[in-house]
Amino acid sequence: MKVTFPYMGSPYMYEKLFSLLGHEVIIPPRPSLKTINYGVKYSPEFACFPLKVIMGSYLEAIELGADTIITSGGNGPCRAGYYGEAQKKILQNMGYDVDFIIFDEPKRDYKDFLNKIKKVKGNNSWIDVARIVNIVYKMASSMDKIEKIIERKRAYECNKGEFTKAWNEISQMYRKIRVSDDVDYVEKEALKKINSIKICHVSESEKIRIGIVGEIYVVMESSINNNIEEVLNAYGAEVERSHYISEWIDYNMIPLPSYKSKERQILKKGEKYIELVIGGHAKQSAGGIIDFMERGFDGVIHLKPFGCLPELITQSVIDKIIREYDYPIISLSIDEQVATANLLTRIEAFIDVIKIKRERLKIAR
């Protein structure tokens, strides 16, 4: 079984999971122009961008020899939950014989779910599986912790590119993990590495902090959002995203209430603007904007794929939030047509707006 999976954020966590379970893993290449071209060519024209990119990733992985695709399903009404079924249909029609293992909520079909788990589990005992899942979860949390620090500190690095280089090296270190204790060791090393990078001092009052909310795929996958975090860092702004994979696991996979509290709070903050959970992360995005605002962030960037169903409702309420609080928010659509120059110009203008607003407030005081 040569396993592959959608490329979203760092792929090493999934690689670790499946390779520890004893499968041969084929990491799809980081989405590039080739991936996007592939995906766009074979996907429905108006499918959302993540479907097209993931489709491209699958095709590239199949070229590399993958024969099993493992992905998550969903309950809707966001389209993402049906990606697997649609992609399966298209790939079959193209003549590829690949095995799709789509993990839906167990309650949809317990037997089917168990069969899929057994397939992925291989010959490992349940104790081993628990151990492996624990290692991977620990690794994901640890990687997210380091990434959060980098997203903040990279804004002030003296020599451009040092943090990104360090992050790539750290990722490779995480790849080598075998047992649970390794995670602690790598984390310590990573922190040491990060702290040794020279940082130029910026006074507290001049720091800019920007939050990113929106659809999970375009927020998390840097190759298709034009490395928006690095771009913002390069303009001297600290960044925090609304989605991290470990938080997604906390909310969606761990059935303990204490792990759900953060997401619940954010949902509550969005309730004023979007009453129900309407699929995707629409309500979380509205809540996330309020959350970032309350935590004193200077502005929020809202990212969504072109034509995203739930996020369009969020975009509709954003204007109201802006009017109500006089708070800088920019909504950016991402698809295969987006040009980097356009994105850069808009982000630059956005940062200028934040700076000017700050000056204005200073004068007013």
Partner 1 sequence: MKIGIPKALMYYFYYPFWKTLFENLGFEVVTSDDTSKTILDVGVKESVSEICVPMKVFTGHFLNLLYKNVDYIYVPRFVSLSKGIFMCPKFMGLPDMIKGLFDNVDEKILTHNIISKDLDISNFNNYKSFINKFGIKKIDLKRALKSAQQEWIMFRKLNQSGYNLNELLSERQPQKINSDITIGLIGYVYNVYDKFINMDILNIFRKMNINVVTFDMIDEKLIRNRISKFKKHMFWEFTNILLGTAYEFMDRNDIDGIIHITAFGCGPDSILEPFLTIDSEMHKKPFMTLRIDEQTGESHIVTRVEAFSDLIRLKKYKDNIKNQAEEYAKGAI
Nearest to partner 1 of 38, 244 (CB atom): 38
The span from the CA of 81 to the CA of 252, in Å, is 14
Least distance from partner 1 to the Cβ atom of residue 237, Å: 26
Report H helices in 122-253. 126-153, 162-175, 180-195, 216-220, 228-234, 245-253
Q: Quick check: 226 and 343 in contact, CB under 8 A?
A: yes
Nearest to partner 1 of 65, 76 (CB atom): 76
Q: Quick check: 109 and 309 in contact, CB under 8 A?
A: no
Least distance from partner 1 to the Cβ atom of residue 81, Å: 6
Nearest to 252 by CA among 292, 284, 219, 287: 284
**β partners of residue 304:** 333
Least distance from partner 1 to the Cβ atom of residue 69, Å: 16
Nearest to partner 1 of 89, 160 (CB atom): 89
Q: How many CB atoms lie within 10 A of CB 363?
A: 7
Q: Which residues contact 268 (CB under 8 A, 6 or more apart)?
A: 287
The span from the CA of 15 to the CA of 20, in Å, is 8
Least distance from partner 1 to the Cβ atom of residue 281, Å: 11
Least distance from partner 1 to the Cβ atom of residue 52, Å: 10
Least distance from partner 1 to the Cβ atom of residue 172, Å: 38
The span from the CA of 7 to the CA of 290, in Å, is 29
Nearest to partner 1 of 120, 309 (CB atom): 309
Q: Where do contacts with partner 1 occur on this chain (CB under 8 A)?
A: 44-48, 73, 75-79, 81-82, 85-86, 89-90, 93, 104, 108, 273-276, 278-280, 282, 306-310, 312-313, 315-320, 323, 333
Instruction: Give CA angle at 72 (70, 74), nearest 5°.
Output: 155
Least distance from partner 1 to the Cβ atom of residue 302, Å: 12
The span from the CA of 5 to the CA of 38, in Å, is 16
